[in-house]
Chain A
């Protein structure tokens, strides 16, 4: 334990040093100049500071104020003992206001001096140990949480791989959708945590297609009305796959899977919901899904140009899409295209 003692009297310094040296494991530093002591404190932090009140240049009160200012808001502030004469009551009150922890009366009573120093050092040591333990626990919790989050993300990614085997859409399509959705979340003022949820949940929007027969899912031509009925079931199937989880990602993914084909004007499915009755995450996913589909090659269509795709989003704002979502998306054209380039399909599906 490091103790700093500051007193302009060399004799007093030696007296205090002799007393504290009776405690095992003490490493004491002494200064007769309070100015030099404060300079030392800029780079060194003692476990206990003992200082005289009456000192030239920088008295005990000023020293305490300056010392506390070196580490404002410290979690485990250094205990400070100020040495005063008995009648300095006003000085003691001021010292307490400035951050003194305790006082010792001059002339020093060796027994009392030793006890106070021991107690304050023990208290400080306990506080530091508690802080270190809290930090170490916090780190352990963060590590464990990170591991759980990593596993959750990995499970989702593997789930998406399963879905990918059944679909014409590439892995990059779902990755781009997540990225577009995350970007939109940010543009709409959502928190970083909400953006992350969108980024991870949106790619699962079509998971229900695992139940759609290949004859319908991979059909190159137009679907019959009966086939459309089955095709549309991927929303409710996806919801039933994902619902009921305690995972926030899967809860949001279930909502997106169920509602990403709803339209702003109420002409979508499965519920025919309109406007803000459609969950915002599903409104975001709907736009991202269509935009990316327009830019992608499908068995039944060529890829649209980016200009045409953006024009289609603008044209469908207020009918298919929420205008409050379409507008920032269109305004962030360069950022959207940057995502498209970053997750571009190297081989057309």
Chain B
């Protein structure tokens, strides 16, 4: 599934179910997600072997944490990069750039 701008940056309903409606806890979770996802994204950008095991692990981890918090668009961006043709440099650049954009959108929500 491709990311769509119709989808929310964050599934608030899911986040509320996790936090029991606590706004403070939601902010904490969002901060944890942004911190961890930023680290993973930075490693994805610097990983030379795009089709290697390490890249697969990084994308799996990114997808997992995004999904767990309800960061829908970041999750989709990670899934698209997972499915991308690693020989198609422009597409790859675009996918990686989208990761950064979705992260920035999440950061703005904190």
Indicate which residue in B19, B33, B65 contacts A18 across the interface (CB closer than 8 Å).
B19
A11 touches B36 (CB 8 A): yes
Indicate which residue in B17, B25, B64 contacts A9 across the interface (CB closer than 8 Å).
B64
A22 touches B36 (CB 8 A): no
B64 touches A15 (CB 8 A): no
Instruction: Identify the closest chain B residue to A19 (Cβ).
Output: B18
- Quick one: which of B52-90 are within 8 Å of A by CB? 60-61, 64-65, 67-69
The reply on A110 being an interface residue by CB < 8 A is: yes
Chain A residues in 8 Å Cβ range of B28: 14
The reply on A271 being an interface residue by CB < 8 A is: no
Indicate which residue in A11, A21, A22, A107 contacts B29 across the interface (CB closer than 8 Å).
A11
Give a binary string over B35-60; 1 marks a CB under 8 Å from any A CB, 0 the rest. Answer: 11100000000000000000000001
The reply on B104 being an interface residue by CB < 8 A is: no
**Interface of B, helix, strand, loop or mixed by DSSP:** helix
B51 to chain A, nearest CB (A): 20
The reply on A251 being an interface residue by CB < 8 A is: no
B38 to chain A, nearest CB (A): 11
- Classify chain B's interface size: 20 to 34
The reply on B32 being an interface residue by CB < 8 A is: yes
The reply on A108 being an interface residue by CB < 8 A is: yes
Chain B residues in 8 Å Cβ range of A211: none
Indicate which residue in A10, A18, A19, A21 contacts B36 across the interface (CB closer than 8 Å).
A10
B64 touches A106 (CB 8 A): yes
Chain B residues in 8 Å Cβ range of A111: 17
Instruction: Identify the closest chain A residue to B21 (Cβ).
Output: A22
Known contacts A11-B32, A11-B33, A14-B32: A22-B64 contact under CB 8 Å: no
**Interface of A, helix, strand, loop or mixed by DSSP:** helix
Chain B residues in 8 Å Cβ range of A21: 20
Instruction: Identify the closest chain B residue to A106 (Cβ).
Output: B64
A12 touches B29 (CB 8 A): no
A107 touches B17 (CB 8 A): no
Chain B residues in 8 Å Cβ range of A12: 64-65, 68
B18 touches A110 (CB 8 A): yes
B32 touches A10 (CB 8 A): yes
- Quick one: which of A1-30 are within 8 Å of B by CB? 9-12, 14-15, 18-19, 21-22
Chain A residues in 8 Å Cβ range of B18: 15, 18-19, 108, 110
Q: With A and B bound together, what is the CA distance between A21 and B21 in angstroms?
A: 13
B54 to chain A, nearest CB (A): 12
Q: With A and B bound together, what is the CA distance between A111 and B17 in angstroms?
A: 7
Chain B residues in 8 Å Cβ range of A106: 64, 67-68
Known contacts A9-B36, A19-B18, A22-B20: A14-B29 contact under CB 8 Å: yes
Give a binary string over A98-122; 1 marks a CB under 8 Å from any B CB, 0 the rest. Answer: 0000000011101100000000000
Instruction: Identify the closest chain B residue to A21 (Cβ).
Output: B20
A270 to chain B, nearest CB (A): 86
- Quick one: which of A126-145 are within 8 Å of B by CB? none
Chain A residues in 8 Å Cβ range of B20: 18, 21-22
B57 to chain A, nearest CB (A): 8
Instruction: Identify the closest chain B residue to A108 (Cβ).
Output: B68
Q: Which of B14, B35, B68, B69 is most buried by chain A, counting CB atoms within 10 A of its CB? A: B68
Q: With A and B bound together, what is the CA distance between A273 and B35 in angstroms?
A: 94
A93 to chain B, nearest CB (A): 21
B31 to chain A, nearest CB (A): 9
Q: With A and B bound together, what is the CA distance between A18 and B22 in angstroms?
A: 10
A16 to chain B, nearest CB (A): 8
B35 to chain A, nearest CB (A): 8
B106 to chain A, nearest CB (A): 11
Q: Which 5 A-B pairs have the closest CB atoms?
A: A107-B67, A110-B17, A11-B65, A11-B32, A107-B68
Interface contacts beyond A9-B61, A11-B35, A15-B29: sample of 4 additional A-B pairs, CB < 8 Å, sorted by A? A10-B35, A11-B37, A12-B68, A107-B67
Q: Which residues from chain A sit less than 8 Å from chain B, CB to CB?
A: 9-12, 14-15, 18-19, 21-22, 54, 106-108, 110-111
